[in-house]
Amino acid sequence: MITVANLTKSFGSKLLFEDVTVTFSSGNRYGLTGPNGAGKSTFLKIVQGEEEASGGTVSLPKRTGILKQNQFAYDENRIIDTVLMGNTILWDAMQERETLWSATDFTDEMGIRLGELEGIIGDENGYEAETEAEQLLEGIGVPSEKHNDLMKTLPTDLKFRVLVAQALFGTPDALLLDEPTNYLDLSSVQWLEEKLMAYKGTLIVISHDRHFLNAVCTHIADIDYDTVIIYPGNYDDMVDMKIQARSKIESENREKSKKVAQLQDFVSRFGAGTRASQVQSRKKEIERLEATELKKSNIQRPYIRFDVKKQSGRETLTAQKLHKSYVQPDGSTLHVIKGLDLSIGRGDRIAVIGNNGVGKTSLLRMLAGDLAPDSGTVVYGHETSVGYFPQDYKEGIQRGMTAYKWLEGFGTPEDGNEVLSGLLGRMLFSGEARLKMTDNLSGGESARLIIAKLMLQQNNLLILDEPTNHLDLESVSALAESLEKFQGTAIVVSHDRDLVSRFATRVIEMSHTEVLDYSGTFEEFVEWKQRTRGEKK
């Protein structure tokens, strides 16, 4: 169980939450939600002791698994050891045991201490620890041949997976996970879902993956109205309850307003007459019927709509014999794309999926004209115009100017202040937010600004590489809806299953050994793949 009492946190004049008292019960799995900037990560850092609150207290179980965010902290440690460090009681005992074993002058006291340490290691299931760690690493996609390598030999995505395994190791009493699905491919996300659904302790997780929250969570802890409100059920259940509660108050306020108008009419007509007692009664009734104050809710959804200025020809894009390779740090050559042929027609909505490192970003960069292939060709069809969302959003936004000025650079003379301000407003840049410097934009703001640019350009081919990485849940939902309705052609790399399931009419799955190209929805692709695998067996 995790208890939070009278917790307050502010940054200068900005209040994130005030006097929050909440209990996270054992056996429940809580999704911590709220829009970008609501304070989700700050709240979790306070709970796990990494950041100080302005006031209040937090109580945690002694054995709490925490997903560390510093991916370089363990560079000089073996991968398997990094996972074992997730249980500090066990790890400290094992290290002390190693020190005693290596001592040259062995004393009786050291022998007694060794016995104590063996007891601690046994209590912490230490004799099965390496086996458990290996199973976690393999389950989350870190191959067994790497387990004894140093952490610094791994790319960023695999380092992150090791840290997820570290948090899960040893079956802690509580788990605190901030965006655990980042850097995970679809199969690894599914493995993590199953692992967490079987977890019996207290889980608090932040995620922008709607499907993940709906699958894993038994409760939602939503940061709204300067506090944390617990809702039973998953994310969709919470949204429904918030909307229904707000609608009920709005309806009650409308009824109160009608009644107050009638009472005020009576008071104005008979206030100076002989019905003094009745008038006083009506005035008291008016005071009683004061409308319930409705604070601004955190559920804000941008309005995303991708229009097409001019349709492309029937063949939007053709790629032939694409090859792309990279030289590795050890001097070897990694071939990520080998002889790939693609024909993409007008109206195709393609989800490109696959494990990290198989060449998805390289493919999209080549299709967008942002990266030259080693060999092969990419040919655009008649009237094809390309809108590109890069995975590294920082590369796509020039610094040293306002958001409004940056967007203005992609418009035409006809796109005046009304058009540009309207687009920015729809993407939640209202009022002074339009004048925010691009240097100071958050990840979510940067992503929404790039989407505003794509809406302005009205291209007929959208190439989007992980567009949901920095978007909150409602923005992801709005993006999925816009891609569903898009009349052009879309090629999207994403690990967000809600997005992929909603928009894709074609799935391209890349791996190191083959490329599968399936015409149909993501659910149909999964069923087809399971069926064909079963037939092969």
Going by pLDDT thresholds of 50, 70 and 90, the confidence category of residue 534 is low
- Most confident region among 73-87, 224-238, 391-405 by mean pLDDT: 73-87
CB within 8 A of 236, min separation 6: which ones?
210, 214
**385 lies in the same domain as 530:** yes
Greater model confidence, 176 or 413: 176
Indicate whether 358 pLDDT > 80.
yes
DSSP per-residue codes, 276-339: HHHHHHHHHHHHHTPPPP-PPPS----------SS---SEEEEEEEEEEEEE-TTS-EEEEEEE
Q: Are residues 376 and 438 in the same domain?
A: yes
pLDDT of 457 reads 94
Q: Contact, 434 vs 421, CB < 8 A?
A: yes
3-class DSSP assignment, residue 16: strand
Range of the domain at 282: 252-288
For residues 160 and 154, what is the distance between their CA atoms, to the nearest angstrom?
Answer: 9
Please indicate, yes or no, whether residues 422 and 466 belong to a single structural domain of this protein: yes
Residue 296 has pLDDT above 60, yes or no: no
In a domain, 155, yes or no: no
Whether 178 maps to a domain, the answer reads yes
Q: Looking at the structure, do residues 518 and 402 belong to the same domain, yes or no?
A: yes
Do residues 449 and 507 share a domain? Answer: yes
Asked if residues 359 and 338 have their Cβ atoms less than 8 Å apart, the reply is: no
- The dihedrals phi and psi of 146, each to the nearest 5 degrees, come to -100, -5
Q: Which tens digit of pLDDT belongs to each residue from 32-85? A: 988 777 788 889 999 998 888 888 999 999 889 999 988 888 999 999 999 999
- Please choose, from the candidates 483, 488, 530, 489, the residue with its C-alpha nearest in 3D space to the C-alpha of residue 509: 530
d(CA 237, CA 71): 34
Calculate mean pLDDT across residues 105-113: 86
Task: Look at the chain and report how many structural domains it folds into.
Answer: 3
For residue 249, what pLDDT is reported? 66
pTM (whole model) above 0.85: no
pLDDT number for residue 295: 58
- Pair 31, 212: CB distance under 8 Å: no
At residue 534's C-alpha, the angle toward residues 531 and 537, to 5°, is 155
What percent of the chain has a predicted confidence (pLDDT) above 70?
A: 94
pLDDT over 80 (residue 12): no
Helix, coil or strand: residue 439: helix
Distance CA 137, CA 133 (A): 6
Amino acid at 280: Q
- 398 and 427: one domain? yes
For the chain, report the end-to-end CA distance as a whole number of angstroms.
Answer: 46
35 inside domain: yes
Sequence letter at residue 128: E
pLDDT at 297: 59
Find the radius of gyration of the CA atoms of the chain. 28
177 found inside a domain: yes
Q: Same structural domain for residues 270 and 321?
A: no
In a domain, 308, yes or no: no
Look at residue 322 and tell me if it is in a domain.
yes
Q: Do residues 100 and 112 lie in contact, with contact meaning Cβ atoms separated by under 8 Å? A: no
**What integer pLDDT is reported at residue 456 of this predicted model?**
95
Q: Predicted confidence band at 21 (pLDDT cuts at 50, 70, 90)? A: very high
> Same domain for 275 and 408?
no
Q: How far is CA 368 from CA 235, 360, 465, 478, in A?
A: 35, 12, 10, 24
Question: Within this chain, do residues 334 and 456 fall inside the same structural domain, yes or no?
Answer: yes
Helix (H) or strand (E) holding 6: strand 2-11
Query: Based on the domain organization, do 347 and 456 belong to the same domain?
Result: yes
321 occurs within a structural domain: yes
Which range of 151-155, 212-216, 237-241, 249-253 scores highest in mean pLDDT? It is 212-216
Instruction: State the CATH number of the domain containing residue 350.
Output: 3.40.50.300
Q: Which tokens hold the place of 201?
A: 């302790």
Q: How confident is the model at residue 149 (pLDDT cuts 50, 70, 90)?
A: very high
- Name the pLDDT band for 355 (thresholds 50, 70, 90): confident
Nearest to 265 by CA among 251, 290, 283: 283
Per-residue exposure over 496-530, b if at least 16 CB sit within 10 Å of its own CB, e if not: bbbbbebbbbbbbbbeeeebeebeebbeebbeeee
Strand order in the sheet with 55-59: 14-24, 2-11, 55-59
pLDDT at 439 over 90: no
Domain boundary among 244, 269, 288: 288
CB 207 within 8 Å of CB 32: no
Over residues 115-148, the pLDDT tens digits come to: 998 898 898 888 899 999 999 999 888 889 999 9
Q: Is the dihedral of CA 59, 65, 70, 73 positive or negative?
A: positive
Residue 270 lies in a domain: yes
pLDDT above 80 (res 342): yes
pLDDT at 109 over 70: yes
Q: Are residues 500 and 354 in the same domain?
A: yes
As given in the structure block, the two tokens for residue 514 are 């083959």
Q: How many C-beta atoms surround the C-beta of residue 338 within 10 A?
A: 16
Q: Are 47 and 20 in the same domain?
A: yes
For all residues of the chain together, what is the average pLDDT? 87
The letter for the amino acid at 527 is: E
CA distances from 138 to 92, 142, 237 (A): 24, 5, 33
Region 402-431: mean pLDDT is: 89
- H helices of 412-457, in order, are 417-426, 443-457
Spatial distance between the Cα atoms of 27 and 505, rounded to a whole number of angstroms: 39
Cα–Cα distance measured from residue 460 to residue 347, given in angstroms and rounded to the nearest whole number: 9
Q: Which of 288, 305, 334 is the last residue of a domain?
A: 288
